[in-house]
Amino acid sequence: MKGMFLPLGLSIASAAYAAKPSDALIYSCMGASPMSREVHLTPIPTNESIDEDDYKPGYKATFFQYEGKEIGYAQSTASNALIYDGTLYRTSAATRLLTGKHEPVEINPNLAMWLLLSEGKDRLLCVSDTLGGLGRSGSYQNVRYAYLLSLSSPRHLYFALGDIRHYKKR
């Protein structure tokens, strides 16, 4: 009898873990602007970055200090990662959102927008930008990427790429 409840408990736990950010949070991150009244946005100051060639074994990093936490981007020959509170979250392992077909892109930490987003109980680190030189002018500036790291436990990294004009308010 006890064995019957284990699969049910695991499926409930995995469903809670797999809850993806709302569309309002995804598009608010991509556009670096709240897309609904429920989304609150706090910019992370990036005017003073720290560069370390040996941040963690094999990783060089650019990061910022914010509220006593290191927040930034680390690169190695094997993988790239977001940094939050000194922990690395590999971008290649990010769950794809929206179409789910796009591969995670590299971040230029000094050009990207770094934000904290919240909606209800959800709180996320957001990193977004256009796609390098392509997105810096004309209508391509509406095509943006976003990394969203849930700050609740367990932490989970998401990646989205899309046109911010496709957001539909509900």
In tens, the pLDDT along 114-143 reads: 999 999 998 999 999 887 654 455 555 677
- With respect to residue 94, please indicate whether it lies within any of the assigned structural domains: yes
The residue written with tokens 């590999």 in the block is: 90
Higher-scoring residue by pLDDT: 160, 15: 160
Give percent above pLDDT 70 in the chain. 80
Q: What is the pTM of this model?
A: 0.82
Q: How far apart are CA 12 and CA 106, in angstroms?
A: 34
Structural domain containing residue 88: 20-166
- With respect to residue 136, please indicate whether it lies within any of the assigned structural domains: yes
- With respect to residue 10, please indicate whether it lies within any of the assigned structural domains: no
Residue 18 falls in which region: left (phi positive, over 0), alpha (psi -120 to 50) or beta = alpha
- Given a cut of 90, is residue 81 above it in pLDDT? yes
- With respect to residue 13, please indicate whether it lies within any of the assigned structural domains: no
The residue written with tokens 């009898």 in the block is: 1
- With respect to residue 50, please indicate whether it lies within any of the assigned structural domains: yes
- With respect to residue 152, please indicate whether it lies within any of the assigned structural domains: yes
Number of domains forming the structure of the chain? 1
- With respect to residue 121, please indicate whether it lies within any of the assigned structural domains: yes
End-to-end distance of the chain based on CA atoms, in angstroms? 44
- With respect to residue 107, please indicate whether it lies within any of the assigned structural domains: yes
pLDDT at position 12? 41
pLDDT at position 25? 92
